[in-house]
Amino acid sequence: MPKTKKSNTGYRTAVQMFFLVFVTLLTINYTLEKTGSAIPFFSVASIHAICPFGGVVSIYQFITTGSFVQKIHESSFILMFASLILAVGFGPVICGWVCPLGTFQEYIGKLGRKIFGSRYNQFIPQLLDRYLRYLRYGVLIMVLYITATTTKLIFQDVDPYYALFNFWSEEVALSALVVLGITIVLSFFVERPWCKYACPYGAVLGIFNLFRIFKIRRSPSTCINCKKCDKSCPMNITVSSGEKVINHQCISCMKCTSEISCPVAGTVEFSTKGEKTA
Amino acid sequence: MKMKPSILSLIIFLVIFGTVGVTAALDLWKTTNTKQPAQYQSGELAGQNNPADIRGSYTFADINKAFGIPIEDLGKAFGVKDSNQYAAFQCKQLETIYAPLAAQGKEVGTGSVRLFVALYKGLPIALDDGTYLPKSAVEILLGKGSLSPEQIDFIQKHSVETP
Ligand code: SF4
């Protein structure tokens, strides 16, 4: 059995860390700028200005009035397009590689895994979990509807991402801090609870999993059924049950692939259709 | 074609920062508000600034520039105590001044500035029941004498004292 060298795990961590530090510095700088002591040569932008979901919630207003929802700027629209380009090609890489809230939950999850061992990320009964995964589409529809009718960035009041990077600011609503607190607590038991059950932007990007160009593909002929791919998946997707993963929850983290978890080279690959696995 | 984590990392950086770079070069990348409200798209007001698009971050100086309303009128209307602060006063600061009224469901904030500007300029605006104006603003508007009976009735019923 050809073994793979597991030297590829560090790339995603590096990208995640880069964006976590970058967004943290950006938001700190935004606060410092108000007191006239911003970090020299570093960008100043609010967290809303660099959130691609701001572009999504502004679409209706932009089409009808040519303006953006309160606190949203051209940059959110531009980042929305960049993340859509990535999603068409590779699925929700923004969730799995870039989003600092996803990274934050993942690192709390590492503590949860230490505490609960193999029970971690397995607490919610499968049937209930399956239905709960569609909750985020309800959240998405609600957020889009309320934003379109009020023209306000209403989601800010429950957004744990905003709360995490602005918890020191008076502008953070108590409700957002509560949602952040719940997300932190749940992260000890479930991997990426916000992403799985509530994130409206994850819901948008998840749709691209149904037709993205690069997919997770498995070769049944070389698969040894060790189920390592299933166990490694943070989103509890049963990778070993088919020849390719078409699941709205996949975050393209590549943990299941032969590059990382699968012990057989060329058996689980992130590839285009024409590519033969093993 | 197989994708490796190393290549995907590169693609992510290239797409995100490439898009930012290209749009910045084309002067499309903006992370702050231009303080230029949207304009009416159609009808006889087409091309005029629309007060409904005034944001909380707009200062009274921005509003003066966009709508030609004297800064003095804005400062007095909304009960800003220090006249040196009129120009730099941001609409969202009203929420702090009038916070005690918000608990009674009477909101004086950016919506009130939108209402004041629209009525001052004789521009159309939806009268929202939750939006209130300080008495000083009502007096300025009534003094202009250009309101409809319905608007007069609304602002008289939706006026509050400045705390
Ligand atoms: S482990 Fe595989 S199937 Fe699971 S989210 Fe990551 S890429 Fe998708």
Interface residue of B1, B3, B15 to substitute, partner A, most A CBs within 10 Å: B3
Among A209, A216, A249, A254, say which to mutate for ligand 1: greatest number of ligand atoms within 8 Å of CB.
A216
Same structural domain for residues B1 and B77? no
Task: Clarify whether residues B86 and B152 are in a common domain.
Answer: yes
> Over the stretch A4-44, which tens digit does the pLDDT of each residue have?
445 567 999 999 999 999 999 888 888 777 676 767 666 66
Q: What proportion of chain A, given as a percentage, has pLDDT over 90? A: 64
Shortest-distance Cα residue to atom 4 of ligand 1: A233
How many angstroms separate the CA atoms of A22 and A124, rounded? 34
CA distance B159 to B163: 12
Nearest to A11 among B9, B32, B53 (CB): B9
Dump pLDDT digits (tens) for A116-135.
Answer: 999 999 999 989 999 999 99
Residues B97 and B141 in one domain: yes
* B129 and B66 inside one domain: yes
Counting one residue from A and one from B, how many pairs have CB atoms under 8 Å apart?
Answer: 98
CA of B10 to the centre of ligand 1 (A): 19
Q: Any chain A CB within 8 A of the CB of B3?
A: yes
Residues ≥6 apart with Cβ < 8 Å to B135: B159, B160, B161, B162
Can you list the alpha helix ranges (DSSP code H) found in chain B? 5-25, 60-67, 71-77, 94-97, 99-102, 110-121, 135-144, 149-157
Q: Are residues B45 and B67 in the same domain?
A: yes
Q: Which of A250, A260, A271 to mutate to test ligand 1, by most ligand atoms within 8 A of the CB atom?
A: A250
What percent of chain A lies above the pLDDT cut of 70?
89
Is residue B26 domain-shared with residue B40, that is, in the same domain?
no
> With bands split at pLDDT 50, 70 and 90, how would you rate the model's confidence at A216?
very high
Q: Which residue has the tokens 């964006």?
A: A19
B107 and B153 inside one domain: yes
Residues B131, B52 share a domain: yes
CB contact at 8 A, A89 and B15: no
Both B84 and B133 in a single domain? yes
Tell me what the mean pLDDT of segment B39-48 comes to.
Answer: 82
pLDDT of residue A1: 46
Asked whether residue B42 falls in the same domain as residue B27, the answer is no
Predicted local confidence at residue B33, as pLDDT:
67
Range of the domain at B15: 1-31
Residues B27 and B58 occupy one common structural domain: no
As for how many domains chain B has, the answer is 2
Quick one: B73 and B89 in the same domain? yes
Tell me what percent of the residues of chain B surpass a pLDDT of 70.
99
In the reported structure, the alpha carbon of residue A227 is separated from the centroid of ligand 1 by a whole-number distance in angstroms of: 13
Q: Is residue B13 exposed (0-12), middle (13-18) or buried (19+ Cβ within 10 Å)?
A: middle
* Model confidence at A275: pLDDT above 80: no
Task: Give pLDDT, residue A114.
Answer: 95
What's the mean pLDDT in B23-47?
A: 81
Among chain B residues, the shortest Cα distance to A70 is held by B55
The alpha carbon of A227 is separated from its chain's Cα centroid by a whole number of angstroms, namely: 24
Computed over every residue of chain A, the mean pLDDT equals 88
Range name among A191-200, B28-37, B65-74, B87-96 with the lowest pLDDT average: B28-37
Average pLDDT for A187-204: 96
> Which residues of chain A lie closer than 8 angstroms to B12, CB-CB?
15, 86, 93, 97-98
Q: Residue B134 belongs to what H/E stretch?
A: strand B133-134
Q: What ipTM does this complex have?
A: 0.89
Q: Which of A142-146, A166-170, A251-255 has the lowest mean pLDDT?
A: A166-170
